[in-house]
Amino acid sequence: MDPRSSHYPHPTNEDAIEAKAFMDLYHAAHGRLPGKEQFECISIHGGCAISLPRAPAIGLNRILGLGKPEDLDEAYAWMSSKAGNRFLQVNVDAASDELRFWMQSKGLAAYGPGWAKLRRDASAGSLPPSGDVKTRKVRPDEAELFGTMMCAGFGFPENLAALWSAIVGRDGWLCFFALDGEIPAGTGAMFASGSFAWLGGGTTVPSFRNRGAQKALIHARLQEGAVHGVSTFVVETEAPSPEKSNISNANLTKMGFVHCYNRSNFNL
């Protein structure tokens, strides 16, 4: 027997905090969305499988953080009963022979450019200037506005706003607005657990783009996370390529994030 088969391949810390964030998002929003949305999520040995069929986003319809065939079989069977597009995310460069064989046996096809995982340690040094755009935390009475802005920014149906509204004020989450004067014009969220934090939910209204809002929101979350004892921040963007510019990746790099690895997306 291959000795690796008796060793459980735990997800990386970077994937584990991301999976934990999405599991908590599920628990926060469970019961708030209409039943027809069929929002479901299961945790499997530090990874997860998540399904929200009407959300046009890979992040809410995927298997994440799993590398053991038995666990992938469980997640694959669970996802097979779900509607909509479904994906598996894998760091192919670090995949075991067992994982590669499992993927080959399922005939999985790669989809799109994949995602880049980036990381910033608090020990990386002082933060670069945040720019001129002001930010502030989202107030509890602004939860609906926050959710609505997130849906608009990501192209989600409006009735999914409760998904993001549910995390405002929730333990472990911090939510921010970028401001155009006093008017919210951009959003950003952070989920922290222990010394790790995951950054997500970054979007800006079209009329306020390319003015530094996302850079300011990254700065605000890093600063607030450090106050709460976070030592490692992680985030994902579309994997950059010479053929296509990636503003999000560039902003994160300017703020001290470094590339960890890429994850490929595979259609299930």
Residue 6 clears pLDDT 70, i.e. is over it: no
pLDDT of residue 247: 86
What average pLDDT does range 140-169 have in this prediction? 94
Residue 201 clears pLDDT 90, i.e. is over it: yes
What confidence tier does 192 reach under pLDDT thresholds 50, 70, 90? Answer: very high
pLDDT of residue 36: 79
pLDDT of residue 155: 87
The rounded radius of gyration (Å) of the Cα atoms in the chain is: 18
Q: Kindly report, residue by residue over 222-247, the tens digit of the pLDDT.
A: 999 999 999 999 999 999 887 777 88
Instruction: Give CA–CA dist 37/60, Å, rounded.
Output: 12
pLDDT of residue 207: 84
Residue 4 clears pLDDT 70, i.e. is over it: no
pLDDT of residue 59: 95
pLDDT of residue 9: 60
What average pLDDT does range 244-260 have in this prediction? 90
pLDDT of residue 3: 35
Tell me what the pLDDT averaged over the chain comes to.
92
| pLDDT over 90, % of the chain | 77
Q: Kindly report, residue by residue over 90-143, the tens digit of the pLDDT.
A: 999 999 999 999 999 999 999 999 999 999 998 887 787 778 899 999 999 999
pLDDT of residue 74: 97
pLDDT of residue 33: 86
What average pLDDT does range 146-154 have in this prediction? 93
| Single-letter residue type at 41 | C
Q: Which residue has the tokens 């970077």?
A: 14
Residues paired with 49 in a beta bridge: 42, 63
Q: Are 176 and 221 in contact (CB under 8 A)?
A: yes
Residue 8 clears pLDDT 50, i.e. is over it: no
